[in-house]
Amino acid sequence: MAGKIDVSIIVPLFNEEESLPELSEWVSSVMAQNGHSFEVIMVDDGSTDDSWNQIVALSAKNPAVKGLKLNRNYGKSAALNTGFKAAIGDIIITMDADLQDSPDEIPGLVDMINNEGYDLVSGWKKKRHDPITKTIPSKFFNFITRKISGIKLHDFNCGLKAYKSKVVKSINLYGEMHRYIPYLAKWHGFYKIGEKIVTHRPRKYGKTKFGLERFINGFLDLLSITLVTKFKQRPMHFFGTLGTLTFMSGGIITLWLIGEKVYHLYKKLPVRDIVDQPLFFLALVAIVIGTQLFLAGFLAELVMQNQDREHNFLISESVGLERNA
Protein backbone atom coordinates (compact mmCIF):
# COMPACT_ATOMS: atom_id res chain seq x y z
CA MET A 1 0.00 0.00 0.00
CA ALA A 2 1.17 3.53 -0.73
CA GLY A 3 1.95 5.70 2.28
CA LYS A 4 -0.20 8.72 3.09
CA ILE A 5 0.48 11.61 0.73
CA ASP A 6 -0.29 15.16 1.80
CA VAL A 7 0.19 16.84 -1.57
CA SER A 8 0.03 15.52 -5.13
CA ILE A 9 1.61 17.83 -7.71
CA ILE A 10 0.34 17.26 -11.24
CA VAL A 11 2.62 18.53 -14.01
CA PRO A 12 1.20 18.22 -17.55
CA LEU A 13 3.91 18.64 -20.17
CA PHE A 14 4.63 18.55 -23.87
CA ASN A 15 8.23 18.76 -25.09
CA GLU A 16 9.73 20.21 -21.93
CA GLU A 17 12.82 17.99 -21.54
CA GLU A 18 15.15 20.85 -20.57
CA SER A 19 13.15 22.12 -17.61
CA LEU A 20 12.20 18.83 -15.93
CA PRO A 21 15.37 18.17 -13.87
CA GLU A 22 15.38 21.71 -12.47
CA LEU A 23 11.64 21.59 -11.77
CA SER A 24 11.89 18.24 -9.97
CA GLU A 25 14.76 19.41 -7.78
CA TRP A 26 13.06 22.70 -6.97
CA VAL A 27 9.75 21.07 -6.03
CA SER A 28 11.48 18.44 -3.88
CA SER A 29 13.47 21.13 -2.04
CA VAL A 30 10.39 23.23 -1.30
CA MET A 31 8.33 20.27 -0.09
CA ALA A 32 11.17 18.98 2.12
CA GLN A 33 11.59 22.41 3.73
CA ASN A 34 7.89 22.49 4.59
CA GLY A 35 7.66 18.90 5.84
CA HIS A 36 4.96 17.73 3.43
CA SER A 37 4.80 14.17 2.16
CA PHE A 38 4.29 14.51 -1.58
CA GLU A 39 4.30 13.01 -5.02
CA VAL A 40 5.02 14.65 -8.36
CA ILE A 41 3.07 13.11 -11.23
CA MET A 42 4.48 14.24 -14.56
CA VAL A 43 2.04 13.54 -17.38
CA ASP A 44 3.78 13.45 -20.75
CA ASP A 45 1.16 14.45 -23.30
CA GLY A 46 2.74 12.65 -26.25
CA SER A 47 6.05 14.56 -26.32
CA THR A 48 8.29 14.06 -29.33
CA ASP A 49 11.51 15.07 -27.55
CA ASP A 50 13.35 13.30 -24.71
CA SER A 51 10.86 14.31 -22.01
CA TRP A 52 9.77 10.76 -21.17
CA ASN A 53 13.32 9.49 -20.73
CA GLN A 54 13.96 12.43 -18.43
CA ILE A 55 10.91 11.46 -16.33
CA VAL A 56 12.07 7.83 -16.11
CA ALA A 57 15.53 8.96 -14.98
CA LEU A 58 14.11 11.38 -12.41
CA SER A 59 11.80 8.69 -11.01
CA ALA A 60 14.74 6.31 -10.63
CA LYS A 61 16.57 8.91 -8.55
CA ASN A 62 13.57 10.20 -6.59
CA PRO A 63 10.68 7.83 -5.69
CA ALA A 64 8.38 10.84 -5.23
CA VAL A 65 8.57 11.53 -8.97
CA LYS A 66 6.11 9.45 -11.00
CA GLY A 67 5.20 9.59 -14.65
CA LEU A 68 2.44 8.82 -17.11
CA LYS A 69 2.94 8.94 -20.86
CA LEU A 70 -0.05 9.37 -23.14
CA ASN A 71 0.22 7.58 -26.46
CA ARG A 72 -0.32 10.82 -28.39
CA ASN A 73 -0.87 14.52 -27.85
CA TYR A 74 -4.42 14.86 -26.49
CA GLY A 75 -4.07 18.32 -24.94
CA LYS A 76 -3.62 19.82 -21.49
CA SER A 77 -7.10 18.91 -20.26
CA ALA A 78 -6.51 15.25 -21.05
CA ALA A 79 -3.14 15.29 -19.30
CA LEU A 80 -4.63 16.90 -16.19
CA ASN A 81 -7.59 14.52 -16.17
CA THR A 82 -5.23 11.54 -16.32
CA GLY A 83 -3.10 12.95 -13.52
CA PHE A 84 -6.16 13.64 -11.35
CA LYS A 85 -7.23 10.03 -11.59
CA ALA A 86 -3.80 8.77 -10.54
CA ALA A 87 -3.21 11.23 -7.68
CA ILE A 88 -3.65 10.05 -4.07
CA GLY A 89 -2.80 13.23 -2.15
CA ASP A 90 -5.24 15.05 0.12
CA ILE A 91 -4.45 18.29 -1.74
CA ILE A 92 -3.83 18.46 -5.48
CA ILE A 93 -1.55 21.10 -6.97
CA THR A 94 -1.35 21.72 -10.71
CA MET A 95 1.51 23.60 -12.30
CA ASP A 96 3.10 23.98 -15.71
CA ALA A 97 6.44 22.35 -16.54
CA ASP A 98 8.08 25.38 -18.17
CA LEU A 99 9.29 26.92 -14.86
CA GLN A 100 7.07 29.97 -15.31
CA ASP A 101 5.13 28.72 -12.26
CA SER A 102 7.24 28.95 -9.10
CA PRO A 103 7.19 25.92 -6.74
CA ASP A 104 7.84 28.40 -3.91
CA GLU A 105 4.13 29.30 -4.15
CA ILE A 106 2.99 25.77 -3.26
CA PRO A 107 3.14 26.10 0.58
CA GLY A 108 0.99 29.23 0.45
CA LEU A 109 -1.60 27.52 -1.70
CA VAL A 110 -1.63 24.47 0.57
CA ASP A 111 -2.06 26.71 3.61
CA MET A 112 -5.12 28.40 2.07
CA ILE A 113 -6.71 24.99 1.50
CA ASN A 114 -5.81 23.60 4.94
CA ASN A 115 -6.30 26.63 7.17
CA GLU A 116 -8.72 28.90 5.33
CA GLY A 117 -11.12 26.22 4.19
CA TYR A 118 -11.05 26.86 0.46
CA ASP A 119 -12.12 24.09 -1.89
CA LEU A 120 -10.03 25.56 -4.68
CA VAL A 121 -7.40 28.28 -4.88
CA SER A 122 -6.40 29.73 -8.24
CA GLY A 123 -3.16 31.56 -8.88
CA TRP A 124 -3.25 35.08 -10.30
CA LYS A 125 -0.25 36.14 -12.35
CA LYS A 126 -0.82 39.82 -11.70
CA LYS A 127 2.50 40.82 -13.24
CA ARG A 128 3.07 38.81 -16.41
CA HIS A 129 6.17 38.28 -18.53
CA ASP A 130 4.28 37.63 -21.76
CA PRO A 131 4.02 39.57 -25.03
CA ILE A 132 1.06 41.88 -25.48
CA THR A 133 -0.33 39.52 -28.14
CA LYS A 134 -0.94 37.07 -25.31
CA THR A 135 -1.84 39.37 -22.42
CA ILE A 136 -4.58 41.38 -24.19
CA PRO A 137 -6.56 38.33 -25.41
CA SER A 138 -6.08 36.79 -21.95
CA LYS A 139 -7.60 39.81 -20.20
CA PHE A 140 -10.58 39.76 -22.56
CA PHE A 141 -11.02 36.01 -22.08
CA ASN A 142 -10.93 36.34 -18.28
CA PHE A 143 -13.43 39.22 -18.35
CA ILE A 144 -15.95 37.22 -20.39
CA THR A 145 -15.48 34.11 -18.23
CA ARG A 146 -15.97 36.12 -15.04
CA LYS A 147 -19.24 37.57 -16.34
CA ILE A 148 -20.64 34.23 -17.52
CA SER A 149 -19.52 32.08 -14.59
CA GLY A 150 -20.10 34.58 -11.80
CA ILE A 151 -16.74 33.60 -10.28
CA LYS A 152 -14.55 36.58 -9.38
CA LEU A 153 -11.15 35.32 -10.54
CA HIS A 154 -8.66 37.42 -12.47
CA ASP A 155 -6.76 34.58 -14.13
CA PHE A 156 -8.78 31.49 -15.01
CA ASN A 157 -6.01 30.22 -17.25
CA CYS A 158 -3.26 30.21 -14.61
CA GLY A 159 -1.81 26.71 -14.46
CA LEU A 160 -0.89 27.05 -10.78
CA LYS A 161 -3.90 25.98 -8.73
CA ALA A 162 -4.64 24.02 -5.56
CA TYR A 163 -7.64 21.77 -4.92
CA LYS A 164 -9.06 19.54 -2.28
CA SER A 165 -8.81 16.02 -3.65
CA LYS A 166 -12.58 15.56 -3.76
CA VAL A 167 -12.89 18.52 -6.14
CA VAL A 168 -10.75 17.05 -8.93
CA LYS A 169 -12.13 13.54 -8.36
CA SER A 170 -15.64 14.83 -9.10
CA ILE A 171 -14.95 16.30 -12.55
CA ASN A 172 -13.94 15.04 -15.99
CA LEU A 173 -11.94 17.21 -18.39
CA TYR A 174 -11.68 17.19 -22.16
CA GLY A 175 -11.20 19.71 -24.97
CA GLU A 176 -9.91 22.98 -23.48
CA MET A 177 -11.93 22.66 -20.28
CA HIS A 178 -8.91 22.89 -17.97
CA ARG A 179 -9.47 26.65 -18.17
CA TYR A 180 -12.89 26.24 -16.56
CA ILE A 181 -12.15 23.92 -13.65
CA PRO A 182 -13.36 26.61 -11.19
CA TYR A 183 -16.64 26.82 -13.16
CA LEU A 184 -17.01 23.02 -13.13
CA ALA A 185 -16.15 22.90 -9.43
CA LYS A 186 -18.81 25.50 -8.66
CA TRP A 187 -21.40 23.48 -10.59
CA HIS A 188 -20.51 20.40 -8.51
CA GLY A 189 -21.19 22.33 -5.30
CA PHE A 190 -17.71 23.56 -4.37
CA TYR A 191 -18.42 27.23 -3.86
CA LYS A 192 -15.47 28.36 -1.72
CA ILE A 193 -13.08 29.45 -4.44
CA GLY A 194 -10.14 31.68 -3.58
CA GLU A 195 -7.34 33.46 -5.39
CA LYS A 196 -3.69 34.06 -4.59
CA ILE A 197 -1.29 36.41 -6.35
CA VAL A 198 1.63 34.32 -7.60
CA THR A 199 4.94 35.03 -9.28
CA HIS A 200 5.08 34.68 -13.04
CA ARG A 201 8.62 33.89 -14.13
CA PRO A 202 10.01 34.47 -17.64
CA ARG A 203 10.26 31.35 -19.78
CA LYS A 204 13.72 29.83 -19.39
CA TYR A 205 13.59 26.90 -21.83
CA GLY A 206 11.69 25.99 -24.98
CA LYS A 207 8.97 28.02 -26.60
CA THR A 208 5.37 28.83 -25.79
CA LYS A 209 2.59 26.51 -26.95
CA PHE A 210 0.19 29.46 -27.11
CA GLY A 211 -1.85 29.96 -30.25
CA LEU A 212 -4.96 31.89 -31.28
CA GLU A 213 -6.85 28.63 -31.82
CA ARG A 214 -6.64 28.01 -28.06
CA PHE A 215 -8.85 31.03 -27.38
CA ILE A 216 -11.31 30.07 -30.11
CA ASN A 217 -11.58 26.53 -28.76
CA GLY A 218 -11.70 27.92 -25.25
CA PHE A 219 -14.71 30.12 -25.96
CA LEU A 220 -16.51 27.22 -27.65
CA ASP A 221 -15.88 25.11 -24.55
CA LEU A 222 -17.13 27.96 -22.36
CA LEU A 223 -20.39 27.97 -24.33
CA SER A 224 -20.59 24.19 -24.02
CA ILE A 225 -20.01 24.24 -20.26
CA THR A 226 -22.54 27.03 -19.76
CA LEU A 227 -25.25 25.10 -21.58
CA VAL A 228 -24.39 21.80 -19.92
CA THR A 229 -24.24 23.18 -16.38
CA LYS A 230 -27.54 24.98 -16.78
CA PHE A 231 -29.53 22.35 -18.67
CA LYS A 232 -27.86 18.95 -18.27
CA GLN A 233 -30.41 17.72 -15.76
CA ARG A 234 -33.32 19.43 -17.53
CA PRO A 235 -32.72 19.52 -21.32
CA MET A 236 -36.41 19.99 -21.98
CA HIS A 237 -36.16 23.42 -20.36
CA PHE A 238 -33.70 24.45 -23.06
CA PHE A 239 -34.92 22.63 -26.17
CA GLY A 240 -38.57 22.77 -25.12
CA THR A 241 -38.48 26.52 -24.54
CA LEU A 242 -36.79 27.20 -27.88
CA GLY A 243 -39.10 24.78 -29.64
CA THR A 244 -42.23 26.25 -28.09
CA LEU A 245 -41.25 29.84 -28.92
CA THR A 246 -40.33 28.91 -32.49
CA PHE A 247 -43.52 26.87 -32.99
CA MET A 248 -45.65 29.68 -31.56
CA SER A 249 -43.98 32.22 -33.86
CA GLY A 250 -44.83 30.06 -36.86
CA GLY A 251 -48.36 29.55 -35.58
CA ILE A 252 -48.96 33.28 -35.05
CA ILE A 253 -47.73 34.06 -38.57
CA THR A 254 -50.01 31.36 -39.98
CA LEU A 255 -53.02 32.68 -38.08
CA TRP A 256 -52.22 36.20 -39.29
CA LEU A 257 -52.13 35.06 -42.92
CA ILE A 258 -55.40 33.14 -42.55
CA GLY A 259 -57.05 36.06 -40.75
CA GLU A 260 -55.85 38.48 -43.41
CA LYS A 261 -57.29 36.30 -46.19
CA VAL A 262 -60.64 35.91 -44.43
CA TYR A 263 -60.79 39.67 -43.87
CA HIS A 264 -60.10 40.36 -47.55
CA LEU A 265 -62.76 37.86 -48.64
CA TYR A 266 -65.28 39.39 -46.23
CA LYS A 267 -64.56 42.89 -47.50
CA LYS A 268 -64.48 41.64 -51.10
CA LEU A 269 -60.98 42.93 -51.52
CA PRO A 270 -58.34 41.41 -53.82
CA VAL A 271 -57.09 38.17 -52.27
CA ARG A 272 -53.54 36.84 -52.58
CA ASP A 273 -52.98 33.10 -52.22
CA ILE A 274 -51.33 32.23 -48.92
CA VAL A 275 -48.76 29.98 -50.64
CA ASP A 276 -47.68 32.94 -52.80
CA GLN A 277 -46.51 34.84 -49.75
CA PRO A 278 -42.94 34.48 -48.34
CA LEU A 279 -44.34 34.69 -44.82
CA PHE A 280 -46.10 31.36 -45.37
CA PHE A 281 -42.81 29.55 -45.95
CA LEU A 282 -41.23 31.32 -42.98
CA ALA A 283 -44.11 30.14 -40.80
CA LEU A 284 -43.81 26.61 -42.16
CA VAL A 285 -40.09 26.46 -41.40
CA ALA A 286 -40.67 27.84 -37.88
CA ILE A 287 -43.33 25.23 -37.13
CA VAL A 288 -41.15 22.37 -38.38
CA ILE A 289 -38.05 23.56 -36.48
CA GLY A 290 -40.10 24.18 -33.35
CA THR A 291 -41.49 20.66 -33.49
CA GLN A 292 -38.00 19.21 -33.98
CA LEU A 293 -36.56 21.18 -31.06
CA PHE A 294 -39.39 20.08 -28.79
CA LEU A 295 -38.86 16.43 -29.79
CA ALA A 296 -35.10 16.82 -29.24
CA GLY A 297 -35.79 17.99 -25.69
CA PHE A 298 -38.17 15.10 -25.10
CA LEU A 299 -35.68 12.54 -26.39
CA ALA A 300 -32.88 14.11 -24.36
CA GLU A 301 -35.02 13.67 -21.25
CA LEU A 302 -35.29 9.95 -22.08
CA VAL A 303 -31.52 9.57 -22.41
CA MET A 304 -29.57 8.91 -19.23
CA GLN A 305 -28.46 12.37 -18.21
CA ASN A 306 -27.44 11.66 -14.65
CA GLN A 307 -24.18 10.00 -15.57
CA ASP A 308 -21.12 12.13 -16.31
CA ARG A 309 -19.29 11.40 -19.50
CA GLU A 310 -16.10 9.51 -18.75
CA HIS A 311 -13.12 10.42 -20.87
CA ASN A 312 -10.29 7.91 -20.76
CA PHE A 313 -7.07 8.60 -22.60
CA LEU A 314 -4.74 5.80 -23.64
CA ILE A 315 -1.61 5.59 -21.48
CA SER A 316 1.28 3.97 -23.30
CA GLU A 317 3.76 3.89 -20.37
CA SER A 318 3.97 4.73 -16.68
CA VAL A 319 6.70 4.92 -14.09
CA GLY A 320 6.48 5.06 -10.31
CA LEU A 321 2.68 4.77 -10.20
CA GLU A 322 2.88 1.17 -8.94
CA ARG A 323 3.80 2.79 -5.63
CA ASN A 324 0.24 4.16 -5.52
CA ALA A 325 -1.28 0.72 -5.91
One digit per residue, pLDDT tens: the chain, 325 residues? 456 899 999 999 999 999 999 999 999 999 999 999 999 999 999 999 999 999 999 999 999 999 999 999 988 999 999 999 999 999 999 999 999 999 999 999 999 999 999 999 999 988 876 666 677 777 888 888 888 888 989 988 899 999 999 999 988 887 778 888 998 899 888 999 999 999 888 777 766 655 556 666 666 677 776 666 666 666 777 788 888 899 999 999 989 988 988 888 888 888 888 778 888 899 999 999 989 988 887 777 666 444 545 556 677 788 877 666 5
Interval 81-132: pLDDT, tens = 999 999 999 999 999 999 999 999 999 999 999 999 999 999 998 887 666 6
CA 6 to CA 25: how far, in whole Å? 18
With beta carbons less than 8 A apart as the criterion, state whether 66 and 41 touch: yes
Give the chain's end-to-end CA distance (angstroms, integer).
6
pLDDT at 323: 64
> For the chain, which residues make up each domain, given as ranges?
7-232+310-324, 235-302
Q: Please, what CATH class does the domain formed by 7-232+310-324 belong to?
A: alpha beta
Q: Write the DSSP symbol of residue 274.
A: G
Under a CB-based contact definition with an 8 Å cutoff, are residues 15 and 45 in contact?
no
Which stretches does DSSP call E strand in the chain?
7-13, 38-44, 65-70, 91-94, 120-124, 161-164, 193-197, 315-319
Contact between residue 239 and residue 294 where contact means Cβ atoms under 8 Å apart = yes
Question: Exposure pattern of 7-24 as b/e (b: 16+ CB <10 Å)?
Answer: bbbbbbbbbbbbbbeebb
Pairing of strands 91-94, 7-13: parallel
What pLDDT is stored for residue 320 in this prediction?
Answer: 79
50 CB-near residues (< 8 Å, 6+ apart): 17
DSSP 308: P
Taking only the tens place, the pLDDT of each residue in 242-268 is: 888 999 999 999 899 889 888 888 888
The pLDDT value given to residue 204: 72
- The pTM assigned to this predicted structure is 0.72
Range 136-154 burial, b when 16+ CB lie within 10 A, else e: eebeebbeebeeebebebb
DSSP string, 74-123: --HHHHHHHHHHH---SEEEE--SSS-B-GGGHHHHHHHHHHH--SEEEE
